Structure 1
């Protein structure tokens, strides 16, 4: 199975974008910069952010500049007030960690952290704000501020200090609350920014803040986070990389300003004011989707020991190069993918699967080339594959993938086909077979298929054909999406074996006769009917073997001749060839069938003449 976590392993050719973003941050040379990485859910924003960090780590120059990272995930602080202050705390902790044991700088970092704590408490409002502005501990929060050294305890009833403490306090002026000083929140914010900027300069570090999963948050939390970010934006030696879906941010802004009749351009401008450089996660085309699916499949084969690690590394490198050169016309073709297999038929089949799935997963509205959805698609297919073997189900991966593709991208059609699956037909759906044949010939499709939907045409042409196989195992494995009832399968094991023997039989023989006799009248009749249905797609109505199953069964159990005549009368008369006539002429029960065929004006004259000698002989 493939996990859903962000990664720096690049199967999507995102490395080029990550390189460009890292270079932008480097070229800022200490000037503040903010980059917005936009993309929908599951598009790969988090992975791209991690790749940017990986690139920056390689650009460190300790004597001049080192990149220090703070990763903030507001989704983990979904509570409105927590999200507002958590970012400030993370930044303070990181700077304190970087200052380490460096005398002077550590003290400055501690003072900065205290100032951050004041700003966090003020954001809470109420008792904290009252305490901050008056200098007097108000309520429980005020007393906590005093306890943690955020308040000059000269103010308040129990704020007594000895002379030594007062002198030390005056000496160690950290710019926080002091008795009889005029207080201003804007001034405090300014002093905080100045102190942070100076400390970053002394540490010779650029603070890079990655903000991720913003579009997973509730609108209030998202806006609160963006408001907190403003305190840190545009400080020298700082950079912000914010990953968020632009459409989500616009929606959150509209909710935040509900009732103000905010216009679209205002919602757009709100985010644009925070972002200097907008980057969009590249949307996957068919080339990228093929490469992505192929590499995921090869990765799994490598983990299973079915594909050598060095071959996988080569495949990854060559695929990445092919994607970079795609603008030259070097597309990811099936031939290119099969070149990775080195003649291994199992790997070749996986590459064919990737080649077939990619266009449909890219163009389908339900998946739309989304990497996360493609990964989940493959996880479902392989999960069902692992469930098949313990239940005695033999299905290849391509068949599982083709059916799940229909479930995922055209659920209405999948449900319609599932409803046509019955035990009496051995799980075969004749309408599906006919549709696959029509699609191959470019002919119009009949219900429940839509001729106007290009996805349906492409899906029908995807290997392997499903119209001639028993769909019950596929539907049984898809019980996570729906429960299917196929009725009772009344064939015994021996009956199924006879059914298969009748389908394959080309000539009569004692072994076939013995098998018919052995199963008994009831099972022989059932096997004959099922075999007739299974043979439908291969029946030409011109060869003796086309009717052999009926003739041989009726020889042993003549009572089944009534059913045999019914089946023969379904023949398309215009397609009947003379090759089946001699065999039927030898069966007394077939005379009525031959007479009706002969009387039909659509019968080939040659076939009619082949029937007539028998009629003349009877006169």
Structure 2
């Protein structure tokens, strides 16, 4: 999996943005400078700052000196300290490190740092004190009687004291610096100018768009203390709309009539240079996904080889895909891992159908891949093997079109035990053509056919015409309308085809987003009543309900009933629903596969009170039952040993 933290490794092809920033920050005639790096959440702002910081550190020192880079995150101080004082002390601490120990510059930096520290008031003292001086003056103008109070509040906002606050004892040296912002700026400028080996001080401010409105405003107020100081630059990385909204919310009464506020205008005046991070194009998103997959599968030296190939292709064509399975194979030769080739194949398949919200945002892409990787690992831990390509295709629908994903799930529930999802089969045939509808399934392939007798010998039941379509694969109007939506049509055409794949295990890992209760409406009233009786604590009622299910429930309603019963089992493995599930399997062996798939997802220790019943009542000759019990035995736990003993007893009794 991949960390969501910022990185100084450029996987996004941001070199052109890095060049813009480095050129602006290293042009002496442009300083002092306030530069904005603007982009949405997850667009790569933090990583861009780290890459620029690394680039600046590699610029060799010349007669003009070297660059001092100071990272600062107001979000880390929010709720604990005064942002103004925290920023001042952070910058001054870094400058003190640049000065020779014991030098006049070091002494001056230390003195200013102590002044800054004295201004860092506990956050509870700041409540109500962040009004700007202009607002305080306005209060005095409205009521002369409030002038003294307003003046005191304004003074506290720039580092003074509250009327009832005990004065802080300062040394004579520290008393040389008044609380006036202009005086502080002048002494700070003098300090920076005296550091001859420093070419420029560059402060990188990140995470501003994570902060509360008052912190956003306080940060800008703190930056103003340093503005117009030679040899200095501030880089502010933020989501512009969030910052604008924070300013508007902080000062709701300052907007002009007919406008939304002054936030946009304030930001415009604060930033002298703006660099906007663009959303990723489809080729860029595909390249980024492939680079993440390569980073996951390759050793460091191999990954560096791939990155060199990507850089070369990006220089040749900035608009094309810079990495895919073919390019990676050419770069790595025989060292190309099979797993990486397979993963790059499905990544290339899903890339064209990723919407702009997901495709254009690096964090969303990384989160998508992390979720996919986590589900694959979780399934493997439970003994279920999922096809990454199938899972990725389903997740594209889940992440972007949840309503359509819900429809697909509902159809899957209806089709349980019927040989495949008929609606999906019909939709794929409609989108792909009948010849290709079953070309690439990774599950059990089965051609739709006439309803068959169930394995317990019961004759097939004919349901309503609409429900019959779901098992025969006939394209009804509802499915046609779904399949002909542009995004669904593109999704259906995407490899792999899913018509022959058992999607049940895949939906299991998407339960958090699915409305499981929605499908109960598909059950007739008497079947819903039976579902309730199957959960009864009275043994006689449960067994009677099992017999009624076997005798009266239509074939098209049985999968939905089983699905809901197993949901109850997963919530309460030691409850009566587990007994009913085992009894139903004994009476209707056709449902054993679906029941075992759900039981496999329940921790064995939670099922321990019901293991005897499960071993006795699950049909022993069914392959899915055998696989389930073998898996339980192999756990090496006391519960696994109990399963082995129970199976031995059953064999001795001649029941297997």
Q: TM-score range by the shorter chain?
A: 0.5 to 0.7
Q: Distance in 1 between matches of 2:343 and 2:504?
A: 24
Give the aligned partner of residue 32 of structure 2.
32
Say if 2:84 and 2:218, in contact at 8 Å, map to a contact too.
Answer: yes
Say if 1:80 and 1:220, in contact at 8 Å, map to a contact too.
Answer: no
Instruction: Assess, with a 3 A threshold, how the Cα gap between structure 1 residues 279 and 416 changes in structure 2: closer, same or farther.
Output: same
3-state secondary structure, aligned to 1:421: helix
Q: Distance in 1 between matches of 2:59 and 2:369?
A: 37
Cα deviations by residue, 1:524-560 (Å, 9 ceiling, x for unpaired): xx99xxxxxxxxxxxxxxxxxxxxxxxxxxxxxxxxx
Cα deviations by residue, 1:450-475 (Å, 9 ceiling, x for unpaired): 35643212221222112211111101
Q: Distance in 2 between matches of 1:12 and 1:445?
A: 45
3-state secondary structure, aligned to 2:372: helix
Displacement after TM superposition at 1:412 (Å) = 0.7
1:216 and 2:213 aligned: no
Say if 2:417 and 2:591, in contact at 8 Å, map to a contact too.
Answer: no
1:176 and 2:183 aligned: no
Alignment of 1:148-297 (within 5 A): 148-149=170-171, 169=172, 175-176=176-177, 188-204=180-196, 205=198, 206-262=200-256, 263=259, 266-297=262-293
Q: Distance in 1 between matches of 2:331 and 2:589?
A: 45
Give the TM-score taking structure 1 as reference length. Answer: 0.67
Displacement after TM superposition at 1:250 (Å) = 1.6
Cα deviations by residue, 1:322-379 (Å, 9 ceiling, x for unpaired): 2333247676566435545646543221111221222223x254x2421111111111
Give the aligned partner of residue 584 of structure 1.
none
Say if 2:81 and 2:120, in contact at 8 Å, map to a contact too.
Answer: no
Cα deviations by residue, 1:175-203 (Å, 9 ceiling, x for unpaired): 236xxxxxxx5xx3222112111211221
Q: Distance in 2 between matches of 1:326 and 1:90?
A: 42
Say if 1:197 and 1:235, in contact at 8 Å, map to a contact too.
Answer: yes
3-state secondary structure, aligned to 2:310: helix
Displacement after TM superposition at 1:42 (Å) = 0.4
Q: Distance in 2 between matches of 1:31 and 1:255?
A: 32
Q: 1:316 aligns with which of 278, 291, 307?
A: 307
Say if 1:18 and 1:51, in contact at 8 Å, map to a contact too.
Answer: yes
Give the aligned partner of residue 447 of structure 2.
none
Give the aligned partner of residue 360 of structure 1.
353
3-state secondary structure, aligned to 1:70: strand
Q: Tell me the C-alpha RMSD between the 2 structures.
A: 3.8
1:407 and 2:401 aligned: no
Alignment of 1:40-189 (within 5 A): 40-61=40-61, 63-79=63-79, 82-117=82-117, 139-142=164-167, 145-146=168-169, 148-149=170-171, 169=172, 175-176=176-177, 188-189=180-181
Cα deviations by residue, 1:205-261 (Å, 9 ceiling, x for unpaired): 221111101111111211121111111122111111100011112211221221344
Instruction: Assess, with a 3 A threshold, how the Cα gap between structure 1 residues 131 and 228 changes in structure 2: closer, same or farther.
Output: closer
Give the TM-score taking structure 2 as reference length. Answer: 0.63
3-state secondary structure, aligned to 1:210: strand
Say if 2:111 and 2:174, in contact at 8 Å, map to a contact too.
Answer: no
Q: Distance in 2 between matches of 1:410 and 1:130?
A: 54
Alignment of 1:391-470 (within 5 A): 391-422=382-413, 424-425=416-417, 428-441=420-433, 446-448=477-479, 450=482, 453-470=485-502
Q: Distance in 2 between matches of 1:347 and 1:463?
A: 17
Displacement after TM superposition at 1:66 (Å) = 1.8
Say if 1:75 and 1:214, in contact at 8 Å, map to a contact too.
Answer: yes
3-state secondary structure, aligned to 2:287: helix
3-state secondary structure, aligned to 1:241: strand
1:375 and 2:366 aligned: yes
Say if 2:82 and 2:121, in contact at 8 Å, map to a contact too.
Answer: no
3-state secondary structure, aligned to 1:4: coil
Q: Distance in 1 between matches of 2:484 and 2:65?
A: 60
Displacement after TM superposition at 1:121 (Å) = 6.2
Q: Distance in 1 between matches of 2:345 and 2:477?
A: 28
Cα deviations by residue, 1:411-470 (Å, 9 ceiling, x for unpaired): 111111111223743573111122122222499995355356432122212221122111
Q: Which of these two proteins has the greater Rg computed from alpha carbons? A: 1
- Single out whichever of 444-453 and 226-235 deviates more from structure 2: 444-453
Give the aligned partner of residue 182 of structure 1.
none
